[in-house]
């Protein structure tokens, strides 16, 4: 039984390593096509209205802005929901999200454009805007 568990554990680790490596290759390939990421989006709580963003601007729920962990401030991205086709263009002006598994935090106006207010989160794809 112990050997069987080791084989399963080793196999799982090998599969995870393979998936991670394949994901990195796809990410570097798609970045040249301007597609950056696919993952889960969330939106800011109203309690952040007026708070200073990482870029120094006051946060505005009615602006089409977003937080991303690494894109430069001032970068424009198109956020698309592949499940509905809804999309919105936002300007990166903050850092975040700080919740594991999420790739972008949107202003409430941007979240509304994606139809995700009720759910709170949604699957999205992020692409650079020229």
CB burial of 48-64 (b: ≥16 within 10 Å; e: otherwise) equals beeeebebeeebbbebb
Residues sharing a CB contact under 8 Å with residue 113, sequence separation 6 or more, in sequence order: 64, 86, 87, 88
Is the pLDDT assigned to residue 33 strictly greater than 50? no
pLDDT at residue 26, as a whole number: 44
Task: Give tens-digit pLDDT for 38-96.
Answer: 999 999 999 999 999 999 999 999 999 999 999 999 999 999 999 999 999 999 999 99
5-19, 42-56, 84-98, 105-119: least confidently modelled range: 5-19
pLDDT at residue 12, as a whole number: 36
The CB density around residue 89, as the number of other CB atoms within 10 Å, is 14
What angle is formed at CA 70 by the lines to CA 18 and CA 80, rounded to 5 degrees? Answer: 75
What angle is formed at CA 93 by the lines to CA 122 and CA 52, rounded to 5 degrees? Answer: 105
- Confidence tier at 18 by pLDDT (50, 70, 90): very low
């Amino acid at each position: 039984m112990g050997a069987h568990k080791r084989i399963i554990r080793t196999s799982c680790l090998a599969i995870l390593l393979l998936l991670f490596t394949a994901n990195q290759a796809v990410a570097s390939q798609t970045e040249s096509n301007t597609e950056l990421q696919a993952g889960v989006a969330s939106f800011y709580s109203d309690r952040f209205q007026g708070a200073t963003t990482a870029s120094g601007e006051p946060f505005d729920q009615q602006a089409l802005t977003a937080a991303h962990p690494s894109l430069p401030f001032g970068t424009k991205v198109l956020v698309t929901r592949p499940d509905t086709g809804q999309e919105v263009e936002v300007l990166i002006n903050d850092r975040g999200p700080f919740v594991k598994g999420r790739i972008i935090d949107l202003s409430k106006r941007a979240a509304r454009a994606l139809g995700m207010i009720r759910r709170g989160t949604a699957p999205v794809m992020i692409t650079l805007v020229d």
